[in-house]
Amino acid sequence: MSPVRKAAKHLKQYLLLYAVLAMIIGLAVGYPLRASIKAHHEEIKDLIVLFAILTIYPSMIQLRIGELGKAATRVKAIIIGVVSVFLVSPLLAMLFAGLFSIKQLSLGFVLTNIVPASSASIGYVLLTGGSIELATVLALISLFGAFAAIPGYMSLYAKLATINIPLKPIMKSLGITLLVPLIAGQLTRYALIHNRARRKILEGNQGYKCLERRIDAHHLGVHELYEALKNIERCIVRKLEEELKPHLSLWTMITMLVLIALLVASKAGMIVGKPIIAVKIFVLQAVILGVLLSLVTVIDKLFGLSYEEHMSVAFLSATKNASVAAAIAVMALGPVAALPAALIPVIQAPIAIAYVQAAPRIRSLFSTERERVTEELARARA
């Protein structure tokens, strides 16, 4: 195993511990230096935005835009996922946000529950044996839908809570935090993956076994030859993605930890002075995640979704990309609004991991009678 793969595996295994450590470091550094941080708040803001974009960028490289066309085959799952992401989660956040006395905190709390799914969401789906194809489609819908959902819900909540927020900075921050990394990520993907895959085909597919037999171009029609070459390209692309994945995962986790430390350091005075705020964020977000996962589980079961479809819908509905929320909050709403984005990953990760560990029980819940009998027979033979 390569050093990068080992480091990525280690960080992923102990990510929750490192996230807590990043918070502690942020408090330990930020509280004594709170006066200096306040004096240099513009520089701190720029650093937060930079690391938020650096955290988002690797996930944009991994996005398979071409998968969006496959959405039509999973209509029920797509509809349930879209309703959960764009209706249930924001409404729950708006319901609980009123419990914060500081209006900027309530705005940040709502924002963190509207942003697109995190790149970790697909990782959770993979761990539980869910449908990666469906998860990718939902991630893309979540990403593109955010351009309308974020300004829409923020404007609605601001009116309900009688808070004045300028929409222009929100739209500008959306472009910087989502559109720029998306374009840069897809260009990088083309250069590092698709372009290399085509070069390897021209080089004779060196290093990859993507052919069971040689292609005889003389005995194939144009369409058959084109399909054969596309299949080889898809095979090489998947292998190149696997090679690149540990590097992108390591990059994402390191920049995310730095971002958490920066966000906590920037508001260390508030956290130490009013620890009840942090506790309230943890508790309310845990309740939202618990309600959302329970509701999705019941609805998916009622509508006859498979276990694989359910896991994709559940994780893509519940887990959010706090880095996006942090960047938008800092640029458009103020640094206090970024505090929920700093703290929510610390509670989001253990709840998601607990759902991963509950996967065998959830699988049995979604199994048909025939599948249960088959599983019991297989266990009896073993």
Average pLDDT score, the chain: 81
Res 265 pLDDT > 70: yes
Domain count, the chain: 1
Q: What does the pLDDT average to over 45-55?
A: 83
Measure the CA–CA gap between 107 and 169, rounded to whole angstroms: 14
Say what the pLDDT of residue 23 is: 84
- Using alpha carbons, list the distances in angstroms from residue 309 to 120, 231, 300, 316: 17, 25, 8, 11
Angle between helices 307-318 and 275-302 (to 10 degrees): 150
- Tell me whether residue 201 is in a domain: no
- Is residue 261 situated within a structural domain? yes
Q: Tell me the two tokens of residue 254.
A: 């390191």
pLDDT mean over 173-200: 80
- What pLDDT is recorded for position 68? 63
**What is the per-residue pLDDT for 206?**
52
DSSP secondary structure, 189-222, as one string: HIIIIIHHHHHHHHTTSTT----SS---GGGS-H
Of 59-73, 155-169, 175-189, 324-338, minimum mean pLDDT range = 59-73
CA angle, residues 177, 27, 255, in degrees to nearest 5: 35
Distances (CA, A) of 352 to 89, 125, 250, 327: 15, 10, 19, 23
- C-alpha 327, offset from chain centre: 15
Closest CA to 81 of 309, 359, 368, 360: 309
Answer yes or no: is 209 within a domain. no
Q: What is the mean pLDDT of residues 157-181?
A: 81
* Residue labelled with tokens 């070069």: 199
Cα diameter, the chain: 77
Which pLDDT score is estimated for 160? Answer: 86
Q: What is the pLDDT of residue 351?
A: 87
On whether residue 229 sits in a domain, the answer given is no
211 assigned to some structural domain: no
Instruction: Flag whether pLDDT at 213 surpasses 70.
Output: no
Does residue 115 lie within any of the structural domains? yes
Tell me if 108 is assigned to some domain: yes
Say which residue, 368 or 80, is predicted with more confidence.
80
Cβ-count burial of 352 within 10 angstroms (0-12 exposed, 13-18 middle, 19+ buried)?
buried
Q: How far apart are CA 57 and CA 183, in angstroms?
A: 9
pLDDT in tens, 83-96: 999 999 999 999 99
Q: Is 60 exceeded by the pLDDT of residue 370?
A: no
Mean pLDDT score, 354-370:
80
Query: In CATH, what number is assigned to the domain containing residue 341?
Result: 1.20.1530.20
pLDDT for 200 equals 67
pLDDT confidence of residue 203: 62
Query: How high is the pLDDT of residue 84?
Result: 92
Rounded distance between C-alpha atoms, residue 195 and residue 238, angstroms: 13
Structural domain contains residue 60: yes
User: Among residues of the chain, what percentage have pLDDT more than 90?
Assistant: 18
Among the listed ranges 203-207, 230-234, 294-298, which one has the minimum average pLDDT value?
Answer: 203-207
Domain of 275, in residue numbers? 3-190+251-373
Phi, psi (5° rounding) for residue 40? Answer: -115, 40
Across the range 196-223, mean pLDDT stands at: 57
Q: What's the confidence (pLDDT) of residue 323?
A: 82
Per-residue pLDDT, averaged over 50-64, amounts to 80
